[in-house]
Structure 1
Amino acid sequence: MASFHFRLATYLKLKIAARDQRQSELMEVLSIQEQLTREMQETADLLETTIAEAREGCSVGRMNVDSLIVAQRELNHLRSLIAHKQSLQRKLNPHIEQRRNALLEAEKEVRSLEKLRERQEQRFQTEQERLDSLELDEIGLIAFARKGR
C-alpha cells in the first residue's frame, strides 16, 4: 500500500518557519512595551515618593528653599521621563499592531496549507480504499472462477 506524500510539505515548513519568526518579532516588541510600562510605573512611584518627601520638608517649621528647588527639579525631571516613555509607547503601538497583523496573516497561510494537506490525505485514503476494494473484488472473482472449472 502506498503512503501519502504532501507535495507542498517543504512550502508548509517554510510557512511555519515564517509564522514562528513573526511570533518571535511580536514577542520582542511586546517585551519592549512591557519593559517601558514597568519603567513608567517605577518612575511614577519615585515621583510619588519625591512629592511626599517634599511635602514633609515643607510641613515642619522652617523651610529649606534649596531642598525645595532640588525637589522641584527632580519632580520636573521625573515628569519629563514619564512623558518621554509615554511617547515611546505611543510610537510602539503601531509596530505592535503591524506585527500582530503579520502574525495573523502567517497563521492563516499555515492553516490553509494544513487544511489542504488534510483534504488531499483524505482523498488519497479514499482512493486507496477504493483500489483495495477493487483488488479484493478481483481476487474474489478469480477464486470463484477457479472453483467453477
Structure 2
Amino acid sequence: MSALQDKYKALLDAANADGVTGLQVAEADGVLHIDGTAPSADVKNKLWDVYGQIDPNFATGDVVLNVNVATAVEGAKVKVVTQETDLNIRKGPGTDQPIVGKAAKDEIVTLVGKANDQWWLIRTDAGEEGYSYAQYLSPL
C-alpha cells in the first residue's frame, strides 16, 4: 500500500463498505485517483465527508474522487435561478473543486441529493452530475 493509499485508507474503506461498484484506485504523479459508482447520493456525500475529514477544505489536492451515483435517482426537479450567468457544477462540494459542467439560467435539473445546506448534488438532462451552490437552485 502506498503512502497515499495509507493516508486515504478510511476513504477507500468507506467506498468498499458502502457498496461502491467498479472501484478503481490508481496513483499517478503523486495523485490518488478513485473511480467508481456509488449506489446512492448518500454514499457519494459520505465519501466527500470522509475525504474532508482527512484533508480539510480539500487543500492538498492529492486525490481525484470521481464517483458518480449509479442511476438517475428519482428526485425533485429544481430550477437554476442565477442572475444572468450559468451555474457551475463542481466535482465536489466546494468552490475549490474543479468545474465539471454548467447549467444555464432557468434550466430545470434533477436534485440527486444534498451534501449540506450550501451544496446540492444535481444532474442535468445531459447527464452532467456534480455539486452546485444551493442558493442558486429553487424547487419547482
Relative to its length, the structure with more strand (as a share) is 2
Larger radius of gyration: 1
Relative to its length, the structure with more helix (as a share) is 1
Give me the TM-score of the superposition, normalised by structure 2: 0.20
| Higher RCO structure (Cα 8 Å, ≥6 apart) | 1
Give me the TM-score of the superposition, normalised by structure 1: 0.19
